[in-house]
Amino acid sequence: MIFEIEEIPEGGLNFDVLVGKDHFEIDQSDCALTDAVKVRGKLTRIEREVCFSGDLEAPLLVTCTRCLKLFPLQVKNIVRIHFVPREKKSSPGSEVEIKETDIEQEIYEENRVDLHGPIRDQILLDVPLIRLCQDDCKGICPECGNDRNSDPCGCENDGQIDPRFAVLQKLKEKMK
C-alpha cells in the first residue's frame, strides 16, 4: 500500500486489496492479527495533498476482559487519512503553531504515501477497551481462580472484602 503520488490520476485511484498480516506487526499476546487485512477505498490528490477514504476489515484474536480467554474479533471501520508533504523549508516559529486539524494529518516524504502505519493505528483504535467473549461472560472467580463460564465453583464472595485488602486492613490495625 505504498503509492507514488505522481501515479494517482486526476479522477482518483480506487483499490481493493488484501494486505498480509505481517505488514502490520500486530502480534501481541492479548491482540493479534490472524489473517490478511482487507482495505478498499479511494486515493485522491489535490496538488500535494493526498486523501484516502475507504474502509478496513481486520480479523483479530483478542483476550476477553473478564475471563482472559482468547476469542476471534472482526474489526470493521471506515478509514480517512489525510497526507501532507513534509515541508523542507519551514520558517522559524512555524513549528510551534499547531492547528487542530494537524492531529489527523500524516506526513509523507519522497513523493510517496504509505498507508500501512495509519491503517495499523486505525485497527488498534478500533479494538474496544472492554471486549467480551460472550455478552454474559461470568469471568474468573477472584477467590479460587476458576473460569466461572465452564466451571462454576460455588465460592460466595459477593460483597465480601477482597482478600488482599483484608491483609492490609490487619496491618493497619497492628500499626495503631
Residue 1 is a binding residue for Zn ion (CB under 5 A): no
CA distances from 76 to 23, 49, 80, 119 (A): 18, 26, 13, 12
Residue 137 is a binding residue for Zn ion (CB under 5 A): yes
Q: Output 50 or 137, the one with its CB closest to Zn ion.
A: 137
Residue 5 is a binding residue for Zn ion (CB under 5 A): no
In the three-class reduction of DSSP (H, G, I as helix; E, B as strand; rest coil), residue 16 is classed as: strand
Taking the CB of residue 125, how many other CB atoms lie within 10 A of it?
A: 10
Residue 67 is a binding residue for Zn ion (CB under 5 A): yes
Q: How many CA atoms are closer than 13 Å to the CA of 70, on its beta-carbon side?
A: 10
For residues 49 and 76, give the distance between their C-alpha atoms in angstroms, rounded to a whole number.
Answer: 26
Task: Please list every residue from 71 through 130 that binds Zn ion, using CB under 5 A.
Answer: none
**Which residue type occupies 10?**
E
Q: Which of 18, 78, 107, 153 binds Zn ion (CB under 5 A)?
A: 153
DSSP structural state of residue 109: B
For residues 141 and 158, give the distance between their C-alpha atoms in angstroms, rounded to a whole number.
Answer: 10
Of 14-22, 116-124, 149-157, 161-169, the segment contacting Zn ion by CB under 5 A is 149-157
Residue 140 is a binding residue for Zn ion (CB under 5 A): no
Q: Output 44 or 65, the one with its CB closest to Zn ion.
A: 65
Q: Which of 104, 143, 151, 162 binds Zn ion (CB under 5 A)?
A: 143
Residue 61 is a binding residue for Zn ion (CB under 5 A): no
Residue ranges in contact with Zn ion by CB under 5 A: 64, 66-67, 133, 137, 141, 143-144, 146, 153, 155
